[in-house]
Structure 1
Amino acid sequence: MKKIALIYMGGTFGCIGEPLSPMPAEHFIPQLQQILPAHLAIECFVAPAIIDSSACTAENWLQLIQMIQQLQLQAYQYFVVLHGTDTLSYASATLAGFLGSSAHVVLTGSQSPLLDVTGQATRKITDAIDNLYFALNSVTTTAAGVYLAFHQQLIYAQSALKKHSTELDAFAGIDIRHHVQLQQRNHPVCDADVIKARTFNCLSVMAQPIAIEQQIINFKNLQRHPPHVLILQGFGTGNWAMNEDLIQTLQDIQAQGCAIILTTQVPFGPIEQRYAVNAWMQHAHILISDCLGHADLYAKALKMYLQYDTVEQWHVHWHE
């Protein structure tokens, strides 16, 4: 029988009380075990951190990946992760970026808790049980890789996007029935990666319809203390109005060791350079996103940050 490791990481799924807060794992796991399908070989585990997902960072997801990779050494190859929905897309993309197709991994969560306010019984109306059962069924019947299971939809983890804050149909992405060919590489996570991730500074700036002169002021302020990664979310296919002063400001930021990446603020669709407004990309020497969405780009930037120390190395290896 296939052994499934069910990992609890907090989130709405395991919340109780008013206002909602994550139930301590030692109290939640026994309640969770009572509803698990008897015909499956499931063992419950507690993630290294049980926190609200809005507080999750790269460090938490790398520790989770480490845990999964250690469990693989104990003959586990099937994993279901219960995670909060706020950053579920980022968790999914990060796990996909580091685990690749080395295991069968399905992440899920819920828009309402499994248990009632007291934490003593399951809620009469909740999507938690349905999402859990769907994830458990999917993990043993789908090809190796990382996926997000939610509201009877199984999507590739790299493409995940939270599209609604409260509805049960909360996520969008590429359905696995589309059979997209994705690059799936395993990257073992070591303690040094976790430590380095604590200082990972990634800033995303969404273009607004303001004068270029104001854009320059904003970026010059940023130039004083630049992040490791600056993501520019342009309009449409990545359009961003530029002039020589703004390009020079971006190059000055990049010269301080900040990798600058152009993407689009539009949820789906590729970056294109066919518009005249994008001619500046040819000589600005910035990176162009080739990712499936915002979370996927975050995961790729994190992986590049851990692997390479200079912007020049990022440019050499960006499209590998």
Structure 2
Amino acid sequence: MTKKIYVIYTGGTIGMKPTDSGYAPSGNMQALLDEKLPPHVRQGLPDFDLVEYEELIDSSNIRPENWKQIATDIAEHYDDYDGFIVLHGTDTMAFSSSMMSFMLRNLNKPVVFTGSQIPLCEARSDGLENFVGALSIATDDRINEVCLYFNGRLMRGNRARKQNAYLFDAFDSPNFPWLGRADINIELSDYLLLKPQSQPEFHLECSEDTQVGILQLFPGITAQWVEAALNQPVKAFIMRTYGTGNGPDGDQALLDALKKATDDGKIIVNLTQCHRGTVHQGSYAAGSALSEAGVIGGLDTTTEAMFCKLHHLLSKGHSPEEIRVMVGQNISGELTI
């Protein structure tokens, strides 16, 4: 039986058209795909139904309510299709694919995010290859998770990061191997793929209010600056530190500000500023001081995945104590234990 794919068009570069203010989201994606994929070409591709959201967005405008819309849409159509594709802007695609991995768990079919660096309306667009590749990936029975496919690379959705604004190789997976590669043939690393442990679980809770902030260390950062940041009305913070998770252990006032925040119930997770690497807070004294201040090591989780994981756990009503434990637990393949 021919497989059928559900395609969600949320906006993003792939469907943009030029305006006086620059490229902007544009509708009628179905007509654009029909133009690029004439009937004799479509015959060799899986069938698909495309839904175009009424409010198309540049992904720089993504908000938690958009994540809830996408996850709910997939959950409601889950039994009717063999796989799913989300056409999404590249700027925050790694955030959205990460969030879907927490909201849609134990899947037994693929959910594939893709988009383009150049709009489909342009002659040199990479959008068609990405879309056709994603269609092939979305029919593969071996894939049972949320993925991100771009320029031939198949990556776990919560391991991918946007690494380049100018190359077609826009995404990479710095702390985890690619799941596969599409060249003449599609080659998958079966041993890396998630295997469903139970029936699919749809965790659709997603607070509309942002629950997480990001604090980046920099040379000369002061306790007053840190304290002002931690006083923002969010419940959890990602602190992006140096190297393997180090911070200025010579500034006792700064450490006291962190300790006060964690004692007051704020969740602070330590992630490295390095593109590739993992946090080991005990490797250096500068990291151990952060641990003593109540900061939790986030291991090799990406910033995008940790942001979404914290938002997800808070949306589900977990307590700070529970979340501090769950930060180090592998929920959807987002970290290496």
TM score, norm. by length of structure 2: 0.83
SS at match of 1:17: strand
Query: Unmatched 5+ residue regions in structure 1?
Result: 116-122
1:217-244: per-residue Cα shift (whole Å, max 9, x none)? 1022234434221111011111111243
Q: In the alignment, does 2:231 pair up with 1:216?
A: no
Q: Distance in 2 between matches of 1:184 and 1:230?
A: 31
Q: In the alignment, does 2:307 pair up with 1:298?
A: yes
1:19-73: per-residue Cα shift (whole Å, max 9, x none)? 111112xx23222244442342211112464111000022211210110000014
Aligned-partner residue type, residue 135 of structure 2: L
Alignment match of 2:202 (pick from 175, 178, 188) = 188
Show the 5 A alignment for 1:261-276: 261-272=269-280, 273-276=282-285
Show the 5 A alignment for 1:103-122: 103-115=109-121
Q: Distance in 1 between matches of 2:238 and 2:259?
A: 14
Q: Distance in 1 between matches of 2:119 and 2:15?
A: 6
Shift, 1:318, TM fit: 3.1
The structure-2 alpha-carbon separation of the partners of 1:181 and 1:130, relative to structure 1 and needing over 3 Å to count, comes to: closer
Show the 5 A alignment for 1:82-101: 82-101=87-106
The structure-2 alpha-carbon separation of the partners of 1:68 and 1:274, relative to structure 1 and needing over 3 Å to count, comes to: same
Aligned to 1:144: 144
Q: Distance in 2 between matches of 1:293 and 1:181?
A: 18
Aligned-partner residue type, residue 188 of structure 1: F
Show the 5 A alignment for 1:227-238: 227-238=234-245
Q: Distance in 2 between matches of 1:291 and 1:33?
A: 42
Aligned to 1:198: 208
Aligned to 1:241: 248
Aligned to 2:16: 15
Q: Distance in 2 between matches of 1:135 and 1:244?
A: 51
Show the 5 A alignment for 1:25-104: 27-36=28-37, 37-39=42-44, 40-47=46-53, 49-73=55-79, 75-102=80-107, 103-104=109-110
The structure-2 alpha-carbon separation of the partners of 1:228 and 1:182, relative to structure 1 and needing over 3 Å to count, comes to: farther
Aligned to 1:118: none
Q: Distance in 2 between matches of 1:99 and 1:124?
A: 36
Q: Distance in 2 between matches of 1:257 and 1:153?
A: 40
Shift, 1:85, TM fit: 0.5
Shift, 1:100, TM fit: 2.9
Aligned to 1:120: none
Q: Distance in 2 between matches of 1:290 and 1:308?
A: 23
Query: Unmatched 5+ residue regions in structure 2?
Result: 181-188, 330-337
The structure-2 alpha-carbon separation of the partners of 1:127 and 1:308, relative to structure 1 and needing over 3 Å to count, comes to: same
Higher helix share: 1
The structure-2 alpha-carbon separation of the partners of 1:22 and 1:130, relative to structure 1 and needing over 3 Å to count, comes to: same
What is the count of residue pairs matched by the alignment? Answer: 303
Aligned-partner residue type, residue 271 of structure 2: T
CA contact (8 A) 2:110 2:137 kept: no
CA contact (8 A) 1:48 1:64 kept: no
Aligned-partner residue type, residue 150 of structure 2: F
Shift, 1:9, TM fit: 0.7
Q: Distance in 2 between matches of 1:244 and 1:133?
A: 55
TM score, norm. by length of structure 1: 0.87
Aligned to 1:207: 217
Aligned-partner residue type, residue 256 of structure 2: Q
SS at match of 2:134: helix
Q: Distance in 1 between matches of 2:291 and 2:81?
A: 47
Shift, 1:256, TM fit: 3.8
The structure-2 alpha-carbon separation of the partners of 1:9 and 1:233, relative to structure 1 and needing over 3 Å to count, comes to: same
The structure-2 alpha-carbon separation of the partners of 1:184 and 1:285, relative to structure 1 and needing over 3 Å to count, comes to: farther
The structure-2 alpha-carbon separation of the partners of 1:183 and 1:223, relative to structure 1 and needing over 3 Å to count, comes to: farther
CA contact (8 A) 1:101 1:146 kept: no
Aligned-partner residue type, residue 90 of structure 2: T
Q: Distance in 2 between matches of 1:264 and 1:230?
A: 13
CA contact (8 A) 1:62 1:189 kept: no
Aligned to 1:154: 154
Aligned-partner residue type, residue 284 of structure 2: Y
Shift, 1:245, TM fit: 2.5
Higher strand share: 2
Q: Distance in 2 between matches of 1:277 and 1:42?
A: 53
